[in-house]
Amino acid sequence: MSRIRSRAGTAVLTALALTGAACVGTAAALPADSGTAAAACTVDYKVQNQWGSGFTTAVTVTNNGAAVNSWNLTWSYAGDQKVTNGWNADLSQSGAAVTAKNASYNGALATGASASFGFNATYSGSNALPASFKLNGVTCNEDTDPTDPTDPTDPTDPTEPGDRVDNPYAGAKVYVNPEWSAKAKAEPGGSRIANQPTGVWLDRIAAINGVGDGMGLRDHLDAALAQKGSSEQVVQLVVYNLPGRDCAALASNGELGPTEIDKYKTDYINPIAAILAEPKYAGLRIVTTIEIDSLPNLITNVSGRPTATPNCDVMKANGNYQKGVAYALDKLGDIGNVYNYIDAGHHGWLGWDDNFGASAEMFKTTASGNGAKLSDVHGFIVNTANYSALKENNFAIGDSVAGKSVRESKWVDWNRYTDELSYAQAMRTKLVSLGFDQNLGMLIDTSRNGWGGAARPAGPGATTDVDTYVNGGRYDRRIHLGNWCNQSGAGLGERPQANPATGIDAYVWMKPPGESDGSSKAIDNDEGKGFDRMCDPTYTGNPRNNNNMSGALPDAPVSGHWFSAQFQELMKNAYPAL
Ligand code: BGC
């Protein structure tokens, strides 16, 4: 997973090509040696279209060296890619090595001039980007003077974002939010986890400059730079302020009404993007988690479904969730060191056949309309602020007991997945099949899905019948999979870590442990937060949790506020134990 992503690589190569051209255009005004600092040539290699067995690529090569009358561009493939036909160049291939020679009409390339060509090819397995290119034998996209700060290809240049890497978490430290850390440390026993990284939630416009005396976005980024030292450093931000937010619930309704999409763009996303693009932050790897719980609601909680809510119908009809998410992806995706991860619910929400494919399609249409491109998406996050177990070891979806499949048990209820890891990996495969980057990375929020403590089953349940088997073995002790508010019995899950499993960029604690999901009774507030009875321990439920008790802890404050009893419960039931 340390390889450069093809999509990210494309973005970077494009930037190089464009900046290279601009540099050349102004070369006369620059000091004499500036021209020699740029790469001798830059190549923008873009996979424009890809299906199961083939792909189409557009290539633009820019000559930054002395003028030439003819050229050949060479590269090799790591996989079994085979060029079948091309245009605007004469392409040939021997084994993995490809040579593109100029056509009769585009051989002359003055300094700064570009030629473009394209081709179709076949492949199987993965279609990794070529690692390097040579123009007339000279390596392209390579810094010829690493000390020159005006050189856009210089990785140490503070004014240019670094190369996006395949997995931003690999080999990097992750930002410890001092505000959360202080609250954790103030709790008895809290210092055991106070140095863990957690997400910084930009949950309202005021959060950008800091609510009250709190830290604003720049404060967090400055603190992240201070933590960085000479390592790579990830900062995890949660972008969470859509118009008509949280349409299927009330606990996290926000400040913007359903129609306030313009305000979302100008007063929320634009200022965030402006700060993230500041040159001093170019050395940070900024992970953005885009709009929790929004797009899936447009699939599962709209008319035609037993779980429909009027507010989700409104948001579906006005399109403002899709427009907002697309705008965020587009603006933030323009910043070379930002890694966008879209929220993809969790298995206990989207793991049913009716929801799974339709949600993946919704992610695709959203990320390829209203100015967004699939290449603006680095990955997806699952289980954000939820409690679904990472891995249920005591039963599997394919098991049968007393003539019944696990899928028929009350707990699984025909879901396709039993846990988050299998769901995340399957969702990833589905998204790639729809055209998202084949190196897409997933994040799993493990902040509260540990389910350890005394109630954790030591082995599979008895095989008398399928419900006894599943209920006796499952780690997730919720009353119903649809329960989501301040769950009693939950524990901290896997500690944040990079590259924990195939296709997974990291386990993260995006929801800061100890911050409430919603108040147990109505509490006045100026944050737009409502009272959702799913947070009331006496509530007997609704169709979304199949009319079960809510399983919520009592005496909880408004969502996002510190909830000491929950923090203690999470530590007590941590798995792995603290
Ligand atoms: C709340 C946010 C809060 C976040 C993290 C959400 O449920 O609505 O205000 O920042 O949780 O705790």
pLDDT the model gives residue 156: 40
Query: Among 252, 291, 447, which residue has the most ligand 1 atoms within 8 Å of its CB, making it the best to mutate?
Result: 252
* CA 2 vs CA 169, 269, 281: distances in Å: 10, 30, 22
What three-state secondary structure class fits 526?
Answer: coil
Q: What is the distance in A from the centroid of ligand 1 to the CA of 566?
A: 14
The rounded Å distance from CA 203 to ligand 1 centre is: 7
pTM value is: 0.75
Q: What pLDDT shows up at residue 46?
A: 76
| Ligand 1 atom with the shortest distance to the CA of 204 | 9
Mean of the pLDDT values across residues 309-316?
A: 97
Amino acid identity for residue 5 in this structure? R
Give dist(CA 291, CA 510) in Å, integer.
12
Q: Which CATH architecture has domain 172-572?
A: Alpha-Beta Barrel (3.20)
pLDDT score at 415: 98
State the closest ligand 1 atom to the C-alpha of 515, by its place in the atom list counted from 1. 12
CA angle 43, 46, 51 (to 5 degrees): 150
Cβ-Cβ contacts under 8 Å for 118 (sequence gap 6 or more): 48, 56, 57, 58, 59, 86, 87, 88
Q: What is the mean pLDDT of residues 198-208?
A: 98
Pairing of strands 134-135, 138-139: antiparallel
Poorest-confidence range of 93-97, 316-320, 567-571? Answer: 93-97
State the closest ligand 1 atom to the C-alpha of 207, by its place in the atom list counted from 1: 10
Identify which of 3-12, 20-29, 490-499 has the greatest average pLDDT.
Answer: 490-499
| Confidence check: pLDDT of 5 > 90 | no
State the pLDDT at residue 21: 23
Q: Sorting pLDDT into bands at 50, 70 and 90, what band is 143?
A: low
Inform me whether the pLDDT recorded for 6 exceeds 50. no
CA of 77 to the centre of ligand 1 (A): 46
User: Is residue 97's pLDDT more than 50?
Assistant: yes
Q: Where in the chain are the domains? A: 1-163, 172-572
Minimum CA distance residue for ligand 1 atom 12: 560
| Two tokens, residue 272 | 């965030």
**Between vectors from CA 372 to CA 368 and to CA 373, what angle results, nearest 5°?**
60
| Number of Cβ atoms within 10 Å of the Cβ of 9 | 25
Question: Where is pLDDT greater, at 339 or 543?
Answer: 339
The arithmetic mean of pLDDT across residues 534-542, rounded, is: 96
Which residue in this structure is represented by tokens 């599962």?
300
As annotated, the active-site residues are 246
**pLDDT for 500-510, tens place per residue?**
999 999 999 99
CA-nearest residue, atom 11 of ligand 1: 560
Q: Return the pLDDT at 130.
A: 80
Query: Over 80: is that where the pLDDT of 148 sits?
Result: no
CB of residue 515 inside a 6 A radius of ligand 1: yes
Checking 183-189 for CB contacts under 8 A at 24+ apart, the result is 183/514, 183/562, 184/513, 184/514, 184/567, 187/514, 187/564, 187/567, 187/568, 187/571, 188/568, 189/568, 189/571, 189/578
Q: Which ligand 1 atom sits closest to the C-alpha of 246?
A: 8
Q: Does the pLDDT of residue 31 top 70, yes or no? A: no
Instruction: Give residue 125's pLDDT.
Output: 76
Contact (Cβ atoms closer than 8 angstroms) between residue 73 and residue 117: no
Residue with CA closest to ligand 1 atom 3: 560
CA–centroid distance, 204 to ligand 1, in Å, is 10
| Best probe residue, ligand 1, of 205, 238, 559, 570 (max atoms within 8 Å of C-beta) | 559
Query: Which residue is closest in CA terms to ligand 1's atom 8?
Result: 252
Ligand 1 pocket, 252 CB below 6 A?
yes
Among the listed ranges 38-52, 291-305, 530-544, which one has the minimum average pLDDT value?
38-52
Q: Is domain 1-163 given the CATH code 2.40.50.180 in the classification?
A: no
Contact 143, 42 (CB under 8 A): no
- Collapse the DSSP code of 146 into the 3-class scheme (helix H, G, I; strand E, B; otherwise coil) and give the result: coil
Query: Which pLDDT band holds residue 38 (cuts at 50, 70, 90)?
Result: low
Cα separation values, 410 from 331, 417, 456, 474, Å: 44, 14, 19, 12
**Residue 511 CA, ligand 1 centroid: distance in Å:** 8
Question: What are the DSSP E strand ranges found in 31-127?
Answer: 41-50, 54-63, 72-76, 82-87, 89-94, 97-102, 114-122
Within 346-419, strands assigned E span: 379-382, 400-401, 404-405
- Least confident range from 105-114, 125-134, 501-510: namely 125-134
- As a whole number, mean pLDDT of residues 527-540 equals 96
Model confidence pLDDT, tens digit, residues 239-278 = 999 999 999 999 999 999 999 999 999 999 999 999 999 9
Ligand 1 midpoint to CA 238 (Å): 10
Instruction: With a cut of 60, say whether residue 516 has pLDDT above it.
Output: yes
CA atoms within 13 A on the CB side of 287: 35
327 lines ligand 1 (CB under 6 A): no
